[in-house]
Structure 1
Amino acid sequence: MLLPLMTVLIASAWPAAASTTTAAAQPAAACQRRCGDVDIPYPFGIGRGCYLYTGEGDVTFGLTCNRTADGSYRPFCWEYEVLDVSLRRGQARVRNDINRWCYNATTRSMDAESTWWWDVSDSWFHVSDEGNRLVVVGCNSLAYVTSVNETEYMTGCMATCPSVGRLENGSCSGMGCCEAAIPRGINSYVVGFEEKFNTTSGAVGRCSYAVVVEAASFEFRTTYVTTGDFVESTGGKVPLVLDWVVGKETCREARRNATGYMCVSRDSECVDSRNGPGYLCNCSAGFEGNPYLLDGCQDINECEDSRFKYPCSVPGTCINTPGGFRCSCPDKTTGNAYFGTCEAKKSQLGVHIAIGVSIGIALLVIIISSAYMIQQKRRLATVKRRYFNQHGGLLLFEEMKSNQGLSFTVFTKDELEEATNKFDEQNVLGKGGNGTVYRGTLKDGRVVAIKRCKLINERQKKEFGKEMLILSQINHRNIVKLHGCCLEVEVPMLVYEFIPNGTLYQLIHGGRHGSRISFAARLRIAHEAAEALAYLHSWASPPIIHGDVKSPNMLIDENYTVKVSDFGASTLAPTDEAQFVTLVQGTCGYLDPEYMQTCKLTDKSDVYSFGVVLLELLTCRKALNLQALEEEKNLSSHFLLAMSENRLEGILDSQIQSEQSIELIEQMADLAKQCLDMSSEKRPSMRQVAEELDRLRKLAEHPWGRHESEELKKLLVRGSPSTFSEIELSNGYVSLTDSAYLGIQSPR
């Protein structure tokens, strides 16, 4: 019977409110604005015409002033006593019933009623989630707050008390008392006890209590558990904070309705409610009062208001202004009245002279600085022009004019600085003995890789522009495209297409994936790389020698196709003895022994280096491993020794042995052995190597071979190329950033 009765009473307390305010009407001047010791500011009021009318029968803001049992007068909103109203916070505090569930010694059971409803869903109130908490007091008491339909939200806590001695005044963290936050935006709830948890014996306390209460006003006492003091000391009611709004629209929507907009005071502002839909009004900064009344917001006189500390550091200097103040030194004085002092003015002649001298010096500094900057700019332009001509820029421009279809760009230094954010370290993709590679974004949105080389020899300086033009005409699906170069610097910079998916080195050695690449996939990679080098050697005009073939220079693009890179720093095939290099270039572990002895770079030098790459694919071992045994440090030497002693299977990757016939693997190993022949004349050409690898690929085909590309995609490293751009020397292997990796600095 009690539950239906409470539902009817609470539901009738809040008649349906209108969806919008019809007009921002003003209350009568004679309205009662105080009841007992509680101020009642508009939009609240007592009697029709004195409060904000929101609809027929709605008493959201309509209060009554009732005489209570003790003879005092107190305001009520229906049956709820109003403790106070705050305009700035948009809150009203009311008294809320404490819900208790007690042990009946006669029936030796708990009371039947264990659930209570509270509903203001038809009003313009919401229960404040910031100001209130669910508090549960008792022993072995589990209570909760949930939505009326028990589907939207539920929150609760459990209070226990193993012994009375463990209870502590002021502590509500689980021993005899617990608390839980409530959700935002609710205007109805159900408070209930879980019947499986109850004070069945009444040994410590006979009753359990649950109530949504203002957090700041509640302080736990141990007597709340051991006696009925919680109800007796509070009269069975505790403060509850309600958030209210004066309209259910947002501020933007409310401003469109000029007649219904509630922020009518000139110095007021609209504030959207944070607890459910709607808005309320506040006086602007520096003003106080009632923003819902015409001229209700009045200026605060900070200079005279005793509530504030005098705002100026010098007495008698504060001048009140609308919404603020200023501190001004009196006449014939000067200084800082805000934080300093005011002193009598002295003769201004010295000040004027000082100001004049200061201005003169400043102008002189500006003139000298401007002249210096102009001179430096001219000097920089001269240096850029000298470098440009030195690197064959004029010849390059002439060639570009004669070949209009050429997609090659000569970039300025400023363009590349802008593309890389002035070569910021965060854009570094990799560092090596030849230089540093940066990621850059051109003005047209293209992402490119920009290489700043360290060295260049005299021959390359003279022929650089012409050689870049030749290299730019290379168009092969397995070779990185050279977009252009910059000639305005001492050592030219190269601009390549950006390849996002890492290198062959990363694929083989960068993680646990290396040993899981199928033999067919390895053959495909080797064949594509061989085709690229064969193109450079046999079909480019003039032929191009790569000079630094290695797995880190073989990239994987977004389509998971191998692309040979770093050829832009290569050389055209030498035609005479004058073109012999004076400084050996390349990477230890990949260098052609004959090239190191003769300093003559040939296409067969690339063949030797490619043979080392084949060994990496066959063995999953690095070209140079400084931590290995002496005979195993150099991969090519270790391989040739194993071949001579007929123990090839001992160094092969175990995976490929289990998935492919040893005869086919031995043929690929024999091809690598031919590439590694000490005599360059006995090595096959790259064209022959590519043809042999193509033949081996056809022999290796099997029913699932068509899925090879998808398998490769899964195995590829998907991170930025910079992920493995530097390999620490601490693991005993060679670092891309360490000069030992290159052996000798490159002349490029």
Structure 2
Amino acid sequence: MTFVTTDIDECNEKKICPVKQNCVNEVGSYRCSCINGYRKVEEVCVPSLTIYLAVGIGIVSLLVLLLGCSWIYWGLKKRKFIKLKEKFFQQNGGLLLKQQLSNHQNSIETTKIFTTEELKKATNNYDESRVLGQEGYGTVYRGVLLDNTVVAIKKSKIGDQSQIEQFINEMIVLTQINHRNVVKLFGCCLETEVPLLVYEFITNGTLANHVHDKSLSSLLSWEKRLKIATEIAGALAYLHSSTSMSIIHRDVKIENMRLDNDYIAKVADFGASRLVPLDQTQLNTLVQGTWWYLDPEYIQTSQLTEKSDVYSFGVVMAELLTGKKALSFDRPENDRNLAISFVSAIKEDSLLQILEDHIVSESNIEQLNEIANLAKRCLSLRGEDRPFMKEVANELERLRSMEKTPLGNFDVDGKKTEYLLSATSHSFNIDVGIGCSTSTNC
């Protein structure tokens, strides 16, 4: 009798082999074998060396690919950044600046090209708490360089091409100036969308603050005011006649004069300035500047000359003498424009009524009259009737060094004695004789 044995495929019934093992059916039984790439070690399937190698090679290849892609990405980004900086450098007048610096060896030694990273760090990424104020054509930040030097960093407004042009102009002008009474330019940064200028930091604010702020003006004695006027005049005379090309500031005003802690004056903000070749005496330009400081002749003719700065300086002198602003709508209509009312007061022999009270004393009244008349000559409507800036500086220096002469009785409140009237008249006659060599109409 023959028995037929039916084999049961256990592999089909259920999953009976551990993970990573295949079920292999045998007659009457089954066995478990490791899947490809695995080997059995003590009944457990573990990856073979081939798997380890394959995985390792795969991981390394992936890392190499990622590193390669990253290197290419950062390389392209760096190249793009370099090209962008080059574009900004050219756009911000870098090539012109290089040319100017090459023509002035001293400028190369004193003018530094700062990086964007240096100035970001110096201003804490241009934090609002570092803003000192608005100056002419840009925002000024307080910065601290790596060597702990405190600087003022001027940044123009983004997208305003005219301001960028003013920055380039200011930079080129300042690289040619080395004078103790002109704000020093340490350097610039041209690699950003807008140019940045780095100046010495002037600690005591603007002259306007000290003259027009009542809490500060009382501290600004006549001696200090005369010293400041003399220093400003000396700086402007230097710009006009002692540089390789005559420099006309074109925006002389009290807000553009700085004071340090020793009340040393510094002329600032050269964005509107113009270089004039030595063989020229005037430039035909668009009228630019602060209106109530502008030379009337320049307004009418658009002919910019050194005498245009002289007129503006005359307004500054009037402010120093009176403590009044150059223009104020808070004053009566006939007194709103200081230049006009100041000249009228001298012509009407009422100067003492408009002088700032605390600067007047018995010992300086003659000096005040002479300086007031010098300011009046600066404010002449015709440029040919004004003195040159060098003459103004020399005259102020002379008056500053002049010994003070007591003049007898004087009422500080403005009431003049007979002697004071004669002294005033004498002073007018002296000034007319000094200043009118080219015209009798002063």
Question: TM-score of the superposition, structure 2-length normalised?
Answer: 0.67
Q: Name 2:89's counterpart in structure 1.
A: 388
Compare CA radii of gyration and give the structure with the larger one: 1
The answer on whether the counterparts of 1:549 and 1:609 sit within 8 Å (CA) in structure 2 is yes
Which residue in 2 is equivalent to 1:410? 113
Secondary structure of 1:500 counterpart:
coil
| Counterpart Cα distance in 2 of 1:570 and 1:678 | 22
The aligned residue for residue 581 of structure 1 is 285
Unaligned runs of at least 5 residues, structure 1: 1-366, 704-748
Cα-Cα RMSD: 3.5
Corresponding residue SS for 1:444: coil
Task: Report the alpha carbon displacement of residue 600 of structure 1 after superposing the two structures with TM.
Answer: 3.2
Q: Which is strand-richer, 1 or 2?
A: 1
Cα 1:406/1:427, change in 2 over 3 Å = same
Quick one: which of 686, 693, 708 aligns to 2:396?
A: 693
Residue deviations 1:611-654, cap 9 Å, x none?
Answer: 11111111111111121111111111111222232222221112
User: Cα deviation per residue 1:690-734 (whole Å; 9 max; x = unaligned)?
Assistant: 01111111225489xxxxxxxxxxxxxxxxxxxxxxxxxxxxxxx
The whole-number CA distance in structure 2 between the counterparts of 1:611 and 1:695 is 17
Per-residue CA shift, 1:165-198, capped at 9, x if unaligned?
xxxxxxxxxxxxxxxxxxxxxxxxxxxxxxxxxx
> Is 1:537 paired with 2:243?
no
Hey, what does 2:53 align to over in structure 1?
none
Within the alignment, does 1:571 sit opposite 2:255 as a pair?
no
Look up the match of 1:148: none
Give 3-state SS (helix, strand or coil) of 1:513's partner.
helix
**Which residue type is aligned with residue 89 of structure 2?**
F
Query: How many angstroms apart in 2 are the aligned matches of 1:561 and 1:389?
Result: 37
Aligned 8 A contact 1:503 1:551 in 2: yes
Residues 1:649 and 2:355 aligned together:
no
Contact 1:471 1:568 in 2 (8 A): no
Q: Distance in 2 between matches of 1:475 and 1:433?
A: 21
Tell me which of the two structures has the higher relative contact order, counting C-alpha pairs closer than 8 angstroms and 6 or more residues apart.
2
Q: Which residue number corresponds to residue 500 of structure 1?
A: 203
For residues 440 and 562 of structure 1, the distance between their equivalents in structure 2, rounded to whole angstroms, comes to: 21
Residues 231-272 of structure 1, C-alpha deviation per residue, up to 9 Å, x if partnerless? xxxxxxxxxxxxxxxxxxxxxxxxxxxxxxxxxxxxxxxxxx
Code of the residue aligned with 2:144 in structure 1: it is T
Structure 1 partner of 2:214: 511
Counterpart AA for 2:289: G
Rounded Cα–Cα distance in structure 2 between residues aligned with 1:598 and 1:422: 45
Corresponding letter in the other structure for 2:152: A
Q: Spell out, residue by residue over 1:330-365, the C-alpha distance to the aligned partner (whole angstroms, 9 max, x if none).
A: xxxxxxxxxxxxxxxxxxxxxxxxxxxxxxxxxxxx
Instruction: Decide whether aligned partners of structure 1 residues 680 and 379 sit closer, same or farther in structure 2, where only a CA change above 3 A counts.
Output: farther
CA distance in 2, matches of 1:444, 1:521: 33
Q: CA separation in 1, counterparts of 2:134 and 2:314?
A: 25
1:564–1:432 Cα change, 3 Å: closer
C-alpha separation in 2, matches of 1:456 and 1:675 = 35
**CA positional deviation for 1:491:** 4.1
Provide the C-alpha distance between the structure 2 equivalents of 1:695 and 1:418, rounded to a whole number of angstroms. Answer: 47
Question: Partners of 1:591 and 1:683 in 2: how far apart?
Answer: 14
What is the CA–CA distance in structure 2 between the aligned matches of 1:506 and 1:593, rounded to whole Å? 26
Partner residue of 2:295?
592
- TM-fit CA distance, 1:508: 1.2
Tell me the equivalent position of 1:623: 326
Residue 361 of structure 2 aligns with an amino acid whose one-letter code is S
Q: Secondary structure at the match of 2:263?
A: coil
- 1:568/1:483 CA distance change after superposition, 3 Å: farther
How far off its partner does 1:585 sit?
Answer: 2.6
Which has a greater percent of helix?
A: 2
1:450-473 CA distance string (max 9 Å, x none): 112345559958x948x7356224
Q: Contact between 2:315 and 2:338, CA under 8 Å: does it hold in 1?
A: yes
**Inter-partner Cα distance in structure 2 for 1:674 and 1:369:** 71
Corresponding residue for residue 520 of structure 1: 223
Aligned partners of 1:406 and 1:473 also within 8 Å = no
C-alpha distance 474-628 of structure 1, shift in aligned 2 (>3 A):
same
Moved more, 538-547 or 660-669: 660-669
| Alignment check: 8 A CA contact 1:428 1:439 kept | yes
How far has the Cα of 1:526 moved from its partner?
Answer: 0.8
Equivalent-residue separation in structure 2 for 1:680 and 1:617 (angstroms): 22
Aligned equivalent of 1:553, options 224, 234, 256: 256
Q: Report what 1:635 is aligned to.
A: 338
Give me the whole-angstrom Cα distance separating, in 2, the residues matched to 1:374 and 1:495.
Answer: 31
Counterpart Cα distance in 2 of 1:631 and 1:520 = 30
Q: Which residue of 1 aligns with 2:63?
A: none
* Structure 1 residue 524 displacement after superposition: 1.1
1:624/1:469 CA distance change after superposition, 3 Å: closer
**Superposed CA offset, 1:646-671 (max 9, x none):** 22222111223334443321111111
Residues 451 and 700 (structure 1), Cα distance of their counterparts in 2 relative to 1, 3 Å cut = farther
CA distance in 2, matches of 1:577, 1:531: 20
Would you say the 8 A contact 2:156–2:163 is kept in 1? no
Question: In the alignment, residue 605 of structure 1 is paired with which amino acid?
Answer: S
The alpha-carbon deviation at position 608 of structure 1 amounts to 0.9
* Pairs within 5 Å for 1:358-397: 378-394=79-95, 396-397=97-98
CA distance in 1, matches of 2:144, 2:101: 24
Which whole-Å CA distance do the structure 2 matches of 1:577 and 1:490 have between them? 36
Instruction: Give me the whole-angstrom Cα distance separating, in 1, the residues matched to 2:120 and 2:303.
Output: 36
Aligned partners of 1:482 and 1:568 also within 8 Å? no
Distance in 2 (alpha carbons) for counterparts of 1:505 and 1:429 = 15
SS of structure 2 residue aligned to 1:567:
coil
Whole-angstrom CA distance in 1 between matches of 2:88 and 2:193:
6
CA distance in 2, matches of 1:514, 1:435: 27
Query: How far apart in 2 are the matches of 1:512 and 1:540?
Result: 38
- The Cα shift of 1:520 comes to 2.3
Equivalent pair of 1:472/1:483 in contact (CA under 8 Å): no
Contact 1:449 1:497 in 2 (8 A): yes
In 2, the alpha carbon distance for the partners of 1:613 and 1:396 equals 32
Q: What SS is found at the alignment partner of 1:555?
A: strand
Deviation digits for residues 53-91 of structure 1, max 9, x if unmatched? Answer: xxxxxxxxxxxxxxxxxxxxxxxxxxxxxxxxxxxxxxx
Gaps of 5+ in 2: 1-67, 407-442
The match for 1:475 among 174, 178, 190 is 178
Residues 606, 483 of structure 1: alpha-carbon distance in 2 compared, 3 angstrom cutoff: same
Matches within 5 A, 1:94-493: 378-394=79-95, 396-397=97-98, 400=101, 403=105, 406-454=109-157, 457=162, 460=165, 464=168, 468=171, 471-493=174-196
Contact 2:239 2:246 in 1 (8 A): yes
After superposition, the Cα gap between the structure-2 partners of 1:511 and 1:370, relative to the gap in structure 1 and judged at 3 Å, is farther
* Counterpart amino acid of residue 276 in structure 2: A
Shift of 1:421: 1.6
Displacement after TM superposition at 1:374 (Å) = 7.1
Residue 626 of structure 1 contacts residue 633 of structure 1 at CA under 8 Å; is this kept in 2? yes
Q: Any conservation in 1 of the 2:138–2:163 contact (CA below 8 Å)?
A: no
CA distance in 2, matches of 1:639, 1:550: 16
